[in-house]
Amino acid sequence: MILVPALADIERRATSNAERTVARLLRDVVGDPDAAAFHSVDLRSHAYKQLAEADFIVLWKGVIVVIEVKGGGVRKHDGVWYSVDRRGDWHKLAGSPMEQARSAAYALRDILQEEGVGWFAHEAIVITPDIESPPNAVGWRPTHWLARDEMTSAGVEAALDRIVDNTRTAPNGQKRARMDDLRKRLFGEFTRMPVIDAQRGAVIEEQARATAGQARVLAALARNPRVLVYGGAGTGKSLVLVEAAKQEADRGKSVLITFRSPALTRFFAPHVEGRGIDLIPFEELPDAKPYDVVLVDEAQDMMTADAMDRIDALIDGGRGLGRWRMFLDPNNQAHVDGGYDKDVAELIADEAITVDLDLNVRNTQAIVHVVQEYLGADVGDPGIVHGEKVQWHNATNDAGIAEADLLAQQIVADGANRADIWLISTTSNQPPLTSPGGFVVTSPKYAKGLEAEHVIVFDLPGTYGEVGTAAFYVAVTRARVSLHIITSKDDKRRIQQLLKNRMMAK
């Protein structure tokens, strides 16, 4: 079963050993290929403004099962429920564990039905892995309280089957929720995608939340062996790749993540460390070491016959029969680094299902609008509405590194962290270096796939053909919070002509 978040994350953040035990058991349940379990989900009922917590929400064979987990012992005395810890101390509970599970289930029902998904079957159960049998009490069916005797993956699977076999059916005349809608909604509401750096304010809250598009991809990746994920800059391709890789590794698969730009190692390494996932730049790939799953980021850089043959050799069963995921932006980033052969791309597309990411989760609304207005590039719908306007700066000299360095110092004086500022020259293809003022100076080739809180773009293209347009596109889509563009008089003239051409082409 798919766990959200991955098992390693649950084991790290869970405060209860009992929850860790249940997570391991759920991970090993295999009876439903579409099953998913979501850990520690906060549910807010819009109708009553009450907060309920579910330890796990499981989608099992079309039924949502809400699970309350209680470690240690559970007792009822004089009508009051208590948990009993390992020292024998009693702790009063607000109600019975079953009442807690039902409360969370009702809150989830209210949220999803209010959002129009329709009627769906739901059940509430309790798991107490440390006691021999449920306490004697009325108010629940025996099938809905699991104790120590059922604490194996087979026991949990059998219990889930018994529960869903006897669940309610939809009332006459009520719209029934589609399973795909339920699955997407659960992923979209309750997945939290990782971010690289600690950010601030509303921008960061919006960036951290999983989007509906990412949720759809996560769901598709789990069910299909070969997937092409298309998305513009900022639509979360690399974030989805990380989650997909962790899910595969948690299921015991050997996993490879590869990419052309070595700089992407810095992005992926913190997220996959200690998970047994191989992280290898394309140029350093071994000659022959088949993996159960291969994930390729920025695949438009490797869309040539030679590169695809090399990747083919690393997939157990090959590209045609094996399990792989490729993430790419062929329309806008295919001319910055590597090679892109349209005939090869069509061949690869025939081997997989395709999924589109359509919501931008990196760039603010203002940045998205600039990219769309000047370049006509599809970077998804703006999902982050906060953030300052894009700042255009008139250069006093040649719009080069000296002007960018000075502007960066002004941004630091306004309170930004020096390490969060990048200076990007669109005409360079050199690896990162340090400016005289101590700021990172990089190029589209080495910035592609990465991001920074504040970006200053300088040395704009002299012409806006395929290469110049792609370089400008990559540079301006790296910013998460603020974007500054330095223009000379000639730059401004070319930008205005670019915009005029765009308007005439509409």
Closest Cα to residue 459, out of 473, 472, 470, 474?
Answer: 472
The amino acid at 390: V
Contact between 2 and 59 (Cβ < 8 Å): no
Amino acid 39: pLDDT: 87
What's the token pair of residue 247? 């899910």
Q: Is the pLDDT of residue 20 over 50?
A: yes
Of 32-46, 116-130, 285-299, the poorest mean pLDDT is in 32-46
Element (H or E) spanning 484, and its range? Answer: strand 479-487
Query: What is each CA distance from 417 to 97, 162, 200, 349, in whole angstroms?
Result: 47, 56, 12, 42
Summarize pLDDT for 136-187 with one digit per residue, the tens.
665 678 889 899 889 999 999 999 999 999 888 888 888 888 888 888 778 7
CA distance 303 to 311: 10
Contact between 463 and 501 (Cβ < 8 Å): no
- Nearby residues of 506 by Cβ (< 8 Å), 6 or more positions away: none
Contact between 52 and 43 (Cβ < 8 Å): yes
**Could you tell me what percentage of the chain is helix, strand and coil, using 3-state DSSP and rounding each to the nearest 5?**
40, 25, 35
Lateral strand order in the sheet of 433-434: 391-394, 479-487, 452-458, 421-425, 440-442, 433-434
Contact between 435 and 405 (Cβ < 8 Å): yes
Element (H or E) spanning 82, and its range? Answer: strand 80-84
**Average pLDDT of the residues in 255-259:** 96
Amino acid 191: pLDDT: 59
CA distance 480 to 54: 33
Amino acid 136: pLDDT: 67
Summarize pLDDT for 190-211 with one digit per residue, the tens.
654 543 233 344 455 555 555 5
DSSP state of 235: S
Cis ω before 262 (30° cut-off from 0): no
Summarize pLDDT for 347-396 with one digit per residue, the tens.
999 999 999 888 877 777 888 888 888 887 777 776 665 567 899 999 88
Q: What percent of the chain has pLDDT over 70?
A: 89
Contact between 242 and 264 (Cβ < 8 Å): no
Three-point CA angle 409, 414, 416, nearest 5°: 75
CA distance 78 to 363: 57
CA distance 121 to 325: 33
Closest Cα to residue 148, out of 162, 128, 166?
Answer: 128
Contact between 177 and 183 (Cβ < 8 Å): no
Amino acid 75: pLDDT: 79
Pick the CATH number of 211-360 from 2.40.110.10, 3.40.50.150, 3.40.190.10, 3.40.50.300: 3.40.50.300
**Average pLDDT of the residues in 434-441:** 95
Report domain extents, the chain.
2-192, 211-360, 365-505
The answer to whether domain 211-360 and domain 365-505 are alike in fold is: yes
Q: β-strands 339-340, 302-303: how paired?
A: parallel
Q: HSE (CB half, 13 Å, CA atoms) of 149?
A: 6
Three-point CA angle 60, 55, 116, nearest 5°: 55
Q: Give the helix ranges, DSSP H, for 67-225.
A: 97-114, 153-165, 179-190, 201-208, 212-223
Q: Is the pLDDT of residue 41 over 80?
A: no
CA distance 335 to 201: 35
Of 134-138, 322-326, 429-433, the poorest mean pLDDT is in 134-138
DSSP state of 168: -
Global pTM reads 0.68
The CATH H-level superfamily of 365-505 is P-loop containing nucleotide triphosphate hydrolases (3.40.50.300)
What's the token pair of residue 431? 């690896």
CA distance 251 to 165: 26
Q: HSE (CB half, 13 Å, CA atoms) of 10?
A: 29
Coil, strand or helix at 328? strand
Amino acid 111: pLDDT: 80
Phi/psi for 60 (5° steps) reads -130, 110
